[in-house]
Structure 1
Amino acid sequence: MNGQRIGYVRVSTFDQNAERQLQEVQVDRIFTDKASGKDRNRPQLDVLLGYVRDGDTVVVHSMDRLARNLDDLRKIVHDLTKRGVQVEFIKEHLTFIGDDSAMANLMLSVMGAFAEFERALIRERQREGIALAKNRGAYQGRKRSLRQDQVLELRKRAKAGEAKASLAREYGISRETVYQYLREES
């Protein structure tokens, strides 16, 4: 294959070091997301998927960096290899070329299942930690995005028919947060 080697890096939080993942790996270009791997909703992943061409190789540090959900991992790898793009995972020493061999499918499924299992363990430990902190009175929850006067104004404007998306942009919050504030009123 004569195409480019395209790196994909994902870290979950902004303070994590993204550079270490493909350090000392030769790539022509890198796409980096600072987002959870729980789903495919990642801007740079979308850009990468639109950028790569037949003959390219997507290089990722490990499977859990590409996806923490087995279905998403399998779909991404399948979609790329179907287009003639190889997918190489450095940590696992695995490269997928689209041959759809039984062994390749088994390895992708087993290793992807471990990544999904690890995510479930992380969520479980997080819930346990929050429950313990609540019992001690040390956990207050996440700080609210808007002050109470802003919430009241937001609700009033939404009732008057203003678009939720424009309210979200104006207040610097997501539409889902707008809807959460509106549901609290009920």
Structure 2
Amino acid sequence: MTGQRVGYVRVSTADQNEVRQLDGVELDEVFVDKASGRTRDRPQLDALIKYVRKGDTVFVHSLDRLARNVTDLQGIIADLNVKGVRVEVTTQGLVFTGDENPMTKMLLQMLGAVAEFELATIRERQAEGIAKAKAAGKYKGRKAALTPEQAQEIARRHAGGAGEGITALAKEFGVSRQTVYRYLAEVR
């Protein structure tokens, strides 16, 4: 094996500890995303794919760390293999090089389907829990980003003679531009 040993670690939230995933694996470089695996849009995953070169090996704890659906999983591994990069899944003992046999391809699809199923199950349980908490009066939802008064002020200032910009208002009120647009739509 030549080239660099590169790790990819993903946790779903910022407060989760990512250290255990590739603990004990000797690596030259590690890319860490703190984001959901349901989408392929992850900055460190993109950086990893750009970084690796022919002969490198990417190590990942398990397939569900790469993606939570079969299509993305196959695409990510294919993108790496096309560059001549080997992918090793440490806990499942799988290696993908691009010249897989039918059994390896089937395992990739099956394990990807399991990851996809797990995500759907997690979402279903979460929705059930929220529904029960709402019925019991214990779930209030997420705290509003702006008070009604702040929303009115943003609407007034945006529509006013000077027509303050969305970016400036978002920065001043400590919210995203999308939040300002959403509140403006609600006020109208």
Bigger Rg over Cα: 2
Deviation at 1:56, TM superposition (A): 0.7
Question: Which residue does 1:180 correspond to in 2?
Answer: 182
Deviation at 1:45, TM superposition (A): 1.2
Q: How does 1:44-123 map to 2 (within 5 A)?
A: 44-123=44-123
Deviation at 1:151, TM superposition (A): 1.6
Deviation at 1:165, TM superposition (A): 4.4
Distance 1:169 1:98 in 2: 47
Percent of aligned positions that are identical: 56
**Matched letter for residue 123 of structure 2:** R
Q: SS of 2:6's equivalent? A: strand
Structure 2 residue runs without a partner (length 5+):
none
> Residues 152 and 187 of structure 2 are in contact (CA less than 8 Å); yes or no, is this contact kept in structure 1?
no
- CA shift digits 1:101-133 (9 cap, x unpaired): 322221111101100110000000000000000
Aligned residues: 186
Distance 2:147 2:64 in 1: 37
- CA shift digits 1:13-49 (9 cap, x unpaired): 1221110001011111111111111101222112111
Indicate how the Cα distance of structure 1 residues 27 and 162 shifts in structure 2: closer, same or farther if over 3 A, else same: same
Distance 2:168 2:50 in 1: 29
Dislocated runs of 4+, deviation >6 Å: none
Distance 1:69 1:134 in 2: 30
Question: Could you tell which deviates more after superposition, 100-109 or 15-24?
Answer: 100-109
Deviation at 1:185, TM superposition (A): 2.4
> Residues 49 and 79 of structure 2 are in contact (CA less than 8 Å); yes or no, is this contact kept in structure 1?
no
Deviation at 1:69, TM superposition (A): 1.9
Distance 2:69 2:116 in 1: 5
Structure 1 residue runs without a partner (length 5+):
none
Deviation at 1:183, TM superposition (A): 2.9
Deviation at 1:50, TM superposition (A): 1.3
Distance 1:86 1:16 in 2: 27
Q: SS of 2:84's equivalent? A: coil
Q: SS of 2:98's equivalent? A: coil
Distance 2:165 2:50 in 1: 31
